[in-house]
Copies of this chain bind each other. A is one copy, B any other.
Amino acid sequence: MIEPEKGRTRIVIEGVKPEIDGGRFPIKRIIGDRVVVETDIFADGHDVLSAVLLYRKESDPNWTEAPMEFLVNDRWRGSFVVTELGRYRYTFTAWVDHFKSWQQNLAKKAEAKQDVSVDFLEGAQLIEEASQRATKRDTQTMQGWVESLRSNQKSKSTKTRLALSDKVAAIMAKYSDRRFATTYSKELVVLVDREKARFSTWYEMFPRSCAPEPGRHGTFKGCEARLPYISGMGFDVLYFPPIHPIGHTSRKGKTNVPKAKSGDPGTPWAIGSEEGGHKAVHPQLGTLEDFRSFIAKAREYGIEVALDLAFQCSPDHPYVKEHPEWFRWRADRTVQYAENPPKKYQDIYPLEFETDNWQNLWEELKSVALFWIEQGVRIFRVDNPHTKPFAFWEWLIGGIKKHYPDVLFLSEAFTRPKIMYQLAKLGFSQSYTYFTWRNVKWELTQYFTELTQTDVCEFFRPNLWPNTPDILSDYLRDGGRPAFMTRLVLAATLGANYGIYGPAFELCENRRRDTVSEEYLDSEKYELKRWDIESPNSLRDFITRVNRIRRENPALQSDLSLRFHSVDNEQLIWYSKCTGDLSNIILVVVNLDYRYKQSGWVDLSLEELGLDPNKPYKAYDLLADATYQWQGRRNYVELDPQKIPAHIFRVLQVVTT
């Protein structure tokens, strides 16, 4: 009828922040981060409360306690540092603290000069009870206090001073009566990743286009020659589209025509042939051994290789014969190819996750990821995760990270917002975003405020791509070189994680196949390309400079401090990032208009950035290597898209001695 253990637990713990979907999903942090959590804690009546935060590595059964601090309006805060990769759990315990309540009442009564002789006896009783829980040594000390409080020899003021002393408070806190403590009903989880989850600079490249001579199929060996170029620009993740054998049946030709000509290489996403499936290497790229060597070589250049997990098959994939039950068979005894009516992708068979044999399908797909992990891969870019069941990803990523907590997964889900967020919640380390299509000030401001200033930032790590092999945006097509510079600066400073599809990007490739789609003219998805990376028009040096600025300024290595500021020109966007201690403050202003010079007065809340509004400060433009002496909240800027369409300032207060 009445639950016996509930009757005397008087505390309510609620309103925990962060807490994703009532604790259903973990929050995400990076190793070394301090996890700060707040919660409402209150009880009936006017007693004083005590509260602690409990945390542990998930694998460790023992909790560690961290103190909680009372803020205001029944709000409390606690924190702990995560020092290992993997999952931590945390929760809260709070209790009515009768000794602290007694101290508070005693202080008030003493101040009002009321009789407190009975109060001293009650305090003595509380200390005596607590001493039952104490070490021998503390018991002795406490017994002394009990005697003092009961003594007729001691004065009221001596007893009051003792009762309210720090030493009494400290010992009594150790032995506080927690019999009726309330522990929060949920254990919440923090998922701790390595730093690259938060700060990474990606370069996407088709290895088959890296041959030294025109018309030749590139190889991993050939890609090695490209490493100094990529590393020199400052990229630290090199992402390859699928490197597996490509199917022949219904292979797509150049520019995505339905029938390939002889010699057409097909799209790398049509995975599998008689030469193997997801665990095989395309023979023209080299051997598995070559791939492992390439990974090692890349590592020497500070580059990690990311592979594509594209769980779909060409009609020639070994799975089709070995596991026909993993595909959807039509009424005419053919396998259902991918389609999004009226579009048809005859060279690709989706996997049928509603198969009765789904459990061994799941296991097989996990074994694909594990296979590449064994070759040394630690980052996967996952193709279209939103067309596979959510539960599958939670199981696959959770299972893999249990053994390999350093593995990262990038979700390539260009789809509806709730689905993108759901994938991030259930385990993806980073996610593609709508940045690719957000070009004007209000939409960039609104979107990046949502990503960085709401609960979304607890689970969704944006990775910003101005282009991909599938997407040449209107903005890049129309704006040419100035637009490429603008989008690069935006991606690299709005996002601590960003990437480009190169060399198309640095060479400002902006020709479209037609006027209706976003596809490139002569898309690299369907043919070998030869890029003139030494072109004098390349943005190589500009990219190199931007990436160096990112490496040298920790403010740009996280997204949570992003704040937009006001500027009196709709074509200019103006924002800041800074480190928690304000030792590194970066201000960025970008001209979004690739046609005309734009100028305006940028406004800044100096106090928020720890700057004295009455003193001048220096704004070094890290892009142009120029210094401005600024004063006050409003300053003038002018940006010419034909030169450099942005300033990236590092700000320093001028110290006057």
Alpha-carbon distance between A387 and B45 when the two chains are bound, in angstroms: 4
A359 with B125: in contact, given A42-B418, A73-B418, A422-B42 (CB under 8 Å)? no
Q: Please, which residues of chain B bring their CB within 8 A of the CB of A15?
A: 418
Contact segment of A2-10, A460-468, A584-592, A623-631: A2-10
Q: B44, A387: Cβ atoms under 8 Å?
A: yes
Q: Please, which residues of chain B bring their CB within 8 A of the CB of A387?
A: 44-46
A643 on the B face (CB < 8 A): no
Q: A341, B390: Cβ atoms under 8 Å?
A: no
| Copies of this subunit | 2
Q: Please, which residues of chain B bring their CB within 8 A of the CB of A395?
A: 2
A388 on the B face (CB < 8 A): yes
Q: A359, B419: Cβ atoms under 8 Å?
A: no
Q: How many whole Å from A89's CB to the nearest CB in chain B? A: 18
A354 on the B face (CB < 8 A): yes
A613 on the B face (CB < 8 A): no
What is the interface of chain A mostly: helix, strand, loop, or mixed?
mixed
Alpha-carbon distance between A422 and B341 when the two chains are bound, in angstroms: 52
Q: A7, B391: Cβ atoms under 8 Å?
A: yes
A74 on the B face (CB < 8 A): yes
Q: Please, which residues of chain B bring their CB within 8 A of the CB of A109?
A: 341-342
Alpha-carbon distance between A45 and B416 when the two chains are bound, in angstroms: 11
Alpha-carbon distance between A12 and B15 when the two chains are bound, in angstroms: 24
Closest B residue to A361 by CB, please name it. Answer: B7
Q: How many whole Å from A459's CB to the nearest CB in chain B? A: 13
Q: Please, which residues of chain B bring their CB within 8 A of the CB of A111?
A: 342
Question: A358 touches which one: B7, B45, B125, B334 (CB < 8 A)?
Answer: B7
Produce 1/0 per residue, A107-137, CB < 8 A to B: 0110110100010011011000000000000
Question: A418 touches which one: B46, B74, B108, B122 (CB < 8 A)?
Answer: B74
A359 with B105: in contact, given A44-B388, A390-B12, A418-B42 (CB under 8 Å)? no
Question: A73 touches which one: B340, B389, B417 (CB < 8 A)?
Answer: B417
Q: A330, B122: Cβ atoms under 8 Å?
A: yes
A331 on the B face (CB < 8 A): yes
Q: Mark out the residues of chain A between 1 and 30 whose CB falls within 8 Å of any chain B CB in the assembled complex.
A: 2, 4, 6-10, 12, 14-15, 21-22
Q: How many whole Å from A409's CB to the nearest CB in chain B? A: 16
Produce 1/0 per residue, A338-382, CB < 8 A to B: 011110000000000110001100100000000000000000000
Alpha-carbon distance between A565 and B358 when the two chains are bound, in angstroms: 58
Alpha-carbon distance between A114 and B387 when the two chains are bound, in angstroms: 24
Size bracket of the A interface:
35 or more
Produce 1/0 per residue, A199-232, CB < 8 A to B: 0000000000000000000000000000000000
Alpha-carbon distance between A2 and B358 when the two chains are bound, in angstroms: 10
A640 on the B face (CB < 8 A): no
Q: Please, which residues of chain B bring their CB within 8 A of the CB of A389?
A: 7-8, 10, 44
Alpha-carbon distance between A189 and B356 when the two chains are bound, in angstroms: 36
Produce 1/0 per residue, A609-630, CB < 8 A to B: 0000000000000000000000
A42 with B419: in contact, given A2-B359, A9-B391 (CB under 8 Å)? yes
Q: Please, which residues of chain B bring their CB within 8 A of the CB of A121?
A: 331-332
Alpha-carbon distance between A234 and B40 when the two chains are bound, in angstroms: 41
Q: How many whole Å from A396's CB to the nearest CB in chain B? A: 10
Q: Please, which residues of chain B bring their CB within 8 A of the CB of A8?
A: 353-354, 358, 389
Closest B residue to A391 by CB, please name it. Answer: B6
Produce 1/0 per residue, A389-411, CB < 8 A to B: 11110010000000000000000
Q: Please, which residues of chain B bring their CB within 8 A of the CB of A74?
A: 416, 418-419
Q: B118, A362: Cβ atoms under 8 Å?
A: no
Q: B12, A422: Cβ atoms under 8 Å?
A: yes
Q: How many whole Å from A161's CB to the nearest CB in chain B? A: 18
Q: Please, which residues of chain B bring their CB within 8 A of the CB of A342?
A: 108-109, 111-112, 114
Q: How many whole Å from A175's CB to the nearest CB in chain B? A: 18
Q: How many whole Å from A446's CB to the nearest CB in chain B? A: 15
Q: B40, A418: Cβ atoms under 8 Å?
A: yes
Q: Please, which residues of chain B bring their CB within 8 A of the CB of A354?
A: 8, 10, 180
A634 on the B face (CB < 8 A): no
Alpha-carbon distance between A114 and B109 when the two chains are bound, in angstroms: 89
Q: How many whole Å from A466's CB to the nearest CB in chain B? A: 26
Alpha-carbon distance between A422 and B419 when the two chains are bound, in angstroms: 33
Q: How many whole Å from A148's CB to the nearest CB in chain B? A: 15
Q: How many whole Å from A326's CB to the nearest CB in chain B? A: 13
A386 on the B face (CB < 8 A): yes
Closest B residue to A422 by CB, please name it. Answer: B12
Q: How many whole Å from A411's CB to the nearest CB in chain B? A: 12
The listed residue with most B CB atoms (<10 A of its CB), out of A7, A9, A362, is A7
Q: How many whole Å from A546's CB to the nearest CB in chain B? A: 35
Alpha-carbon distance between A111 and B395 when the two chains are bound, in angstroms: 40
Q: How many whole Å from A549's CB to the nearest CB in chain B? A: 37
Q: A118, B332: Cβ atoms under 8 Å?
A: yes
Q: How many whole Å from A203's CB to the nearest CB in chain B? A: 29
Q: A341, B105: Cβ atoms under 8 Å?
A: yes
Q: How many whole Å from A260's CB to the nearest CB in chain B? A: 22
Closest B residue to A359 by CB, please name it. Answer: B2
Q: A359, B7: Cβ atoms under 8 Å?
A: yes
Q: A108, B416: Cβ atoms under 8 Å?
A: no
Q: How many whole Å from A387's CB to the nearest CB in chain B? A: 5
Question: A22 touches which one: B22, B334, B359, B390 (CB < 8 A)?
Answer: B22
With A7-B391, A7-B392, A122-B331 already in contact, 11 other A-B pairs whose C-beta atoms are closer than 8 Å: A8-B353, A8-B389, A10-B354, A10-B390, A14-B422, A42-B419, A105-B339, A108-B341, A109-B341, A122-B330, A125-B331
Give the 9 A-B CB pairs with smallest separation, nearest first.
A112-B342, A121-B331, A22-B22, A108-B341, A118-B332, A74-B418, A10-B389, A105-B341, A45-B387
| 21 pairs from A and B in contact (CB 8 Å cutoff) | A2-B359, A2-B362, A7-B359, A7-B389, A8-B353, A8-B354, A10-B390, A14-B21, A14-B422, A15-B418, A40-B418, A42-B419, A44-B389, A45-B387, A109-B341, A111-B342, A118-B331, A121-B331, A121-B332, A122-B330, A124-B331
